Amino acid sequence: MIYIDEIKNIFVLTTKNTEYAFCVDNIGLLRNLYWGEKIDSIKDYEIEELVEVSTNDPVFEITKEEYPVYGGLRYKENCLKATFSDNTRDIVYKYLGYEKSDDELIIKLKDKYYDLQINLVYKLYYEFDLIERKAIIINNSKEDILLENVMSAQLHIPYENLTFRNTHGYWAAEQQEFIQNVSYGKIVIENRRGVSGHNHNPYFILDNNATETTGEVYFGALNLTGNFKGVIEQTQYGETLVQMGINDFDFLYYLSPNEKFETPEIVIGYTNKGFESMSHNMHAYANKHIIKNSNIRPVLYNSWEAMEFKVNAKEQIELAKRAKDIGTELFVVDDGWFGQRHSIKNGLGDWYVNKEKFPNGLEELIKEVKNMGMFFGIWFEPEMVNPLTELYKKHPDWVYNFDNRERNLSREQLVLNITIPEVCEYVFETLDYYLTNYDIDYIKWDVNRPISEPGAKNLLKNERSLWINHIKSVYKIVDRLKKKHPKVLFEACASGGGRIDFGMLSHFDDFWTSDNTDAYDRLFIQNTYSKIYPIKAMRAWVTDCPNFLSKRVIPLEFRFDSAMMGALGVGCNLLKMSESEIDICREKIKYYKEIRHIIQEGKFYRLDKTLKDNDYYSFEYVLDDEVILFVFLPQSKIGHRHTFIKLRGLDENSSYEFTINNENKTKSGIYLQNHGLKIKLSGDYQSMIIRLKKI
């Protein structure tokens, strides 16, 4: 709900359990008044008059501004820095008014002298306790205005000494959670690579001694891929500030007369019920408003780990037959099927079917796959080109470059400048050709290197907007393809999980979570992923052992159980598997199909370890009357102790029936939540899935 006190200029946004309030004060500043648990009493808000404490502490520094601009006596991080055509580098805004609908509020600000308008948009997601914020900068003047920094929002958290959580990582080590105490000074998380990043993720989680189920958590995630920046600052005035948006690193944008610049949205939320409630709200929001294709995800087979670049029609058909036999529903040919792609050195850009590998074209394989009743998917790396290709020979000017600089290769490839309309069209047409002429249901869209030598002369004076324009072109291509081929699912991959963010998920359907397919490592990667991002989009494969990365050997059952926690896939070399292993695959996939609606659409619970010195990991999914419990014991410790797993999210007044160790049992919800379920696993890499049903 949106409440407005027209006399005092107070705006109160309420969701089911939370409230966000701000005002326009007597000197025209847009000031945050509150963010936290719901109050629902607009009449109680008062606007304190600003009083300068000392000349060293100007009111602008102390004031909780909703969208601080660079100008006047402001020295902290700003949300908007601009230079006008007469070189004035200072913004002074005044309040123009507002526009309101049921779930959206737009606050309009304007520079006091120049025709620069700032619209701040607040969109409410009432049932999920979330608010989306963004800013729209409009040039109503007759001259260009140079934007040097444009953030999506500033947020004020009324505490010091909070705990900040985000991810660090690198290739095959994505989603490693770090937890940092916030003190005086700034924490900066960012990406400067343009296309991908395995390190920081564009979200913030700040808590005040929270646990999974208790305590206050403030959080937000940016709808942006690539160059983002987030600043968390505990100020000297007793609060913590957050700013997130497009990275101002190497960013400049000349806003032409009558042009608008829109920031990506940041979705923000508050809960006093711990991280679990944060994740539930974010997952529900993503499933309903971010993910466009809400269908249950098929079980896929992907050929990458089994064959790498050595794909050919004969073996792919053999693999597809086995993949069908074990129960997978979607067969994806990964890298290696096109051009002269025998290794990383060549092929990208020459998107013709390799005749030596597929003498009868892709048609033969697709026909086999379709005749078996499976979906067909194929890999592309559309934003890239290898210098050895025909495409590069023909269009050496199609990549980002500076005239007098060597073009740095990474994975032997260069990044196509898809901000050039012709190049963008080429990428669209290439994919459109395949989707039009072949019966393709799934595209795995990969990207395996960052942008370097970021020259894009085509953008003229706005060359330094290429970081944001590149990703906008990606979004545009995928949106156009989806419009024309609506049944096709798109998987976002960037050397594994380098593009996991709401920007991607607003356009793509699945994430390839990590090239690290070690089932034990995945428990941690998936755990951190689940804090913000929805389970349905989390692709997880079962692959061969010893794992190519960790060299670990993990029983196939555990590997399946770990991968079944998301959208299941298989990447094993099925041609080399024993009959008993094939049997396990069949059995596990059959079971996954029975429970996947609960996994992909249920509420997800990261259950605590309940016994000290015990290394059981447990996770739970609840959808209506159905419950799935995953338990993992990576390593037995002395004594092979049992554990009691206290379930959550059950109906306390109902009973649940389930089978454990071949014994049928019935227990009340209240017993399962308070006493817990006794589980004993022994050995290393042991796991168990228990399905409970409310009666």
617 and 688 Cβ atoms separated by less than 8 Å? no
**With binding defined as CB under 6 A, does residue 349 bind ligand DGJ?**
no
End-to-end CA distance of the chain: give it in Å, rounded.
37
Q: Which range of residues in 76-84, 257-265, 493-501, 503-511 is near ligand DGJ by CB under 6 A?
A: 493-501
Catalytic residue among 111, 446, 518, 561: 446
Of 61, 207, 216, 334, the one binding ligand DGJ by CB under 6 A: 334
Cβ neighbours, 10 Å, residue 56? 7
CB 192, min distance to ligand DGJ, A: 21
Task: Using the minimum distance from each CB to ligand DGJ, give the nearer residue, 495 or 687.
Answer: 495
Task: Using the minimum distance from each CB to ligand DGJ, give the nearer residue, 210 or 493.
Answer: 493
Point out the residue whose Cβ comes nearest to ligand DGJ.
335
Mapping DSSP onto H, E and C, the string for 201-237 reads: CCEEEEEECCCCCCEEEEEEEECCCCCEEEEEEECCC
Task: Using the minimum distance from each CB to ligand DGJ, give the nearer residue, 129 or 515.
Answer: 515
DSSP state of 562: H
174 and 500 Cβ atoms separated by less than 8 Å? yes
Of 174, 276, 515, 561, the one binding ligand DGJ by CB under 6 A: 515
How many CA atoms lie less than 13 Å away from 27 in the CB half-sphere?
A: 10
Task: Using the minimum distance from each CB to ligand DGJ, give the nearer residue, 69 or 493.
Answer: 493
Q: Give the C-alpha separation, 150 to 147, whole Å.
A: 7
CB 328, min distance to ligand DGJ, A: 16
Q: Two tokens at 361? A: 């074209």
Q: Two tokens at 255? A: 């806003």
Task: Using the minimum distance from each CB to ligand DGJ, give the nearer residue, 165 or 444.
Answer: 444
Q: Give the C-alpha separation, 560 to 546, whole Å.
A: 15
Task: Using the minimum distance from each CB to ligand DGJ, give the nearer residue, 147 or 489.
Answer: 489
CB 308, min distance to ligand DGJ, A: 8
Which residues fall within 8 angstroms of residue 390, CB to CB, at 6 or more apart? 349, 350
**With binding defined as CB under 6 A, does residue 174 bind ligand DGJ?**
no
DSSP of 332-387, one letter per residue?
A: EE-TTSBTT-SSTTS-TT--SB-TTT-TTHHHHHHHHHHHTT-EEEEEE-TTEE-T
Cβ neighbours, 10 Å, residue 36? 17
> Amino acid identity, residue 138?
I
Angle between helices 556-563 and 519-532 (to 10 degrees): 10
DSSP state of 287: I
Q: Give the C-alpha separation, 647 to 672, whole Å.
A: 6
Annotated active-site residue 446? The verdict is yes
Q: Which range of residues in 225-233, 319-327, 389-397, 490-498 is near ligand DGJ by CB under 6 A?
A: 490-498
For ligand DGJ, the binding residues in 378-407 under the rule CB under 6 A are 379
Of 512, 619, 621, 630, the one binding ligand DGJ by CB under 6 A: 512
Task: Using the minimum distance from each CB to ligand DGJ, give the nearer residue, 110 or 357.
Answer: 357
Identify the helix (H) or strand (E) that includes residue 497.
none
How many CA atoms lie less than 13 Å away from 325 in the CB half-sphere?
A: 14
For ligand DGJ, the binding residues in 419-458 under the rule CB under 6 A are 446, 448
Of 202, 245, 496, 503, the one binding ligand DGJ by CB under 6 A: 496
Q: Two tokens at 195? A: 């296309």
Q: Give the C-alpha separation, 408 to 434, whole Å.
A: 30
Q: In Å, what is the CA distance from 19 to each residue of 164, 212, 284, 397?
A: 22, 22, 19, 52
CB 492, min distance to ligand DGJ, A: 11
Q: Which range of residues in 88-96, 489-497, 650-658, 682-690 is near ligand DGJ by CB under 6 A?
A: 489-497
CB 149, min distance to ligand DGJ, A: 33
Catalytic residue among 515, 518, 521, 544: 515
Query: Binders of ligand DGJ: how many residues, by CB under 6 A?
Result: 11
Task: Using the minimum distance from each CB to ligand DGJ, give the nearer residue, 234 or 386.
Answer: 386
CB 514, min distance to ligand DGJ, A: 8
> Amino acid identity, residue 634?
P
**With binding defined as CB under 6 A, does residue 335 bind ligand DGJ?**
yes
CB 390, min distance to ligand DGJ, A: 20
Residue with the two structure tokens 């410790």: 637
Task: Using the minimum distance from each CB to ligand DGJ, give the nearer residue, 242 or 493.
Answer: 493
CB 567, min distance to ligand DGJ, A: 15
Beta-ladder partners of 64:
none
CB 449, min distance to ligand DGJ, A: 11
CB 602, min distance to ligand DGJ, A: 27
Of 493, 537, 689, 690, the one binding ligand DGJ by CB under 6 A: 493
For ligand DGJ, the binding residues in 295-314 under the rule CB under 6 A are 304
Task: Using the minimum distance from each CB to ligand DGJ, give the nearer residue, 304 or 632.
Answer: 304
CB 443, min distance to ligand DGJ, A: 12
Q: Which range of residues in 97-105, 492-500, 601-609, 669-677 is near ligand DGJ by CB under 6 A?
A: 492-500
Q: Give the C-alpha separation, 294 to 693, whole Å.
A: 24
Of 277, 328, 495, 506, the one binding ligand DGJ by CB under 6 A: 495
Q: Which range of residues in 82-90, 105-113, 488-496, 551-559 is near ligand DGJ by CB under 6 A?
A: 488-496
Q: Site map for ligand DGJ, 24-63, x if CB under 6 A?
A: ----------------------------------------
> Amino acid identity, residue 605?
Y
DSSP of 28-72, one letter per residue?
A: S-EEEEEEEE----GGG---PPP--S-TTS-HHHHS-BSSPBS-S
Annotated active-site residue 207? The verdict is no
Closest CA to 117 of 243, 246, 258: 258
Q: Give the C-alpha separation, 564 to 665, whole Å.
A: 24
Q: Give the C-alpha separation, 494 to 430, whole Å.
A: 20
Task: Using the minimum distance from each CB to ligand DGJ, give the nearer residue, 140 or 343.
Answer: 343
For ligand DGJ, the binding residues in 555-614 under the rule CB under 6 A are none
Q: Which range of residues in 87-95, 315-323, 491-499, 559-567 is near ligand DGJ by CB under 6 A?
A: 491-499
Whats the size of the chain, residue-wise?
A: 695
Identify the helix (H) or strand (E) that includes residue 523.
helix 519-532
Which chain residues interact with ligand DGJ by CB under 6 A? 304, 334-335, 379, 446, 448, 493, 495-496, 512, 515
Q: Which residues are catalytic?
A: 446, 515
